[in-house]
Amino acid sequence: MIQTLLRDLRQPEYIHVLINPLPTYGLAMGWVGLIIAFFLKSRRAQIATLVLVFISAASAWPVYELGQQSYDRVLSMADTDGQAWLDEHQDRAQNLIYFFYVLTLLSATAIVVPMKWPKSSMALTLAVIVLGGVVIGMGAYIAQAGGKIRHREFRNEPPPKKSTTEEQH
């Protein structure tokens, strides 16, 4: 059993599936906590939940990189519709990953900057709440396509069509 687990942990597609909920579910939990901390006006609670937002948003980077490393292997395992969903999942991730990076930087800023300028705390926290809500939606949008790659039961719509510019590349 240990050998199987160690083998699995060397496969990027396995680790991708294992940690891919963090940027969405982890972020959602930190975000809800941050909203509560904001209304309680508790700086300590804000810092704790900003750390959760930071870690969750930053976890998008290894999820993205492991997904890129897994592309060829997952492509070879997927049926035709799954391959179309894989390409859609990859396109969505490539287009939206930068928002996770911005949220990572913004949450770090919201932790550190108020140490020098305390009056910036509420505005920065509010900015993290707003951007965090948007990024949670983006994470769900990316995951929606990802779930359809290997799970036929989630395919309640036809696979996306490739545009002619994508087919030429």
Query: Tens place of pLDDT for every residue, the chain, 169 residues?
Result: 788 767 767 787 878 888 889 999 999 999 999 999 999 999 999 999 999 999 999 999 999 999 999 888 888 888 888 899 999 999 999 999 999 999 999 999 999 999 999 999 999 999 999 999 999 999 999 999 888 887 767 777 878 887 544 554 4
Q: Kindly report the pTM of this predicted structure.
A: 0.88
In a domain, 122, yes or no: yes
d(CA 7, CA 32): 36
Q: Domain total for the chain? A: 1
90, 57 in Cβ contact below 8 A? no
In a domain, 4, yes or no: no
d(CA 128, CA 54): 10
In a domain, 1, yes or no: no
Find where tokens 């969505």 sit.
92
In a domain, 163, yes or no: no
Q: In terms of residue numbers, what domain contains 38? A: 9-155
In a domain, 18, yes or no: yes
In a domain, 2, yes or no: no
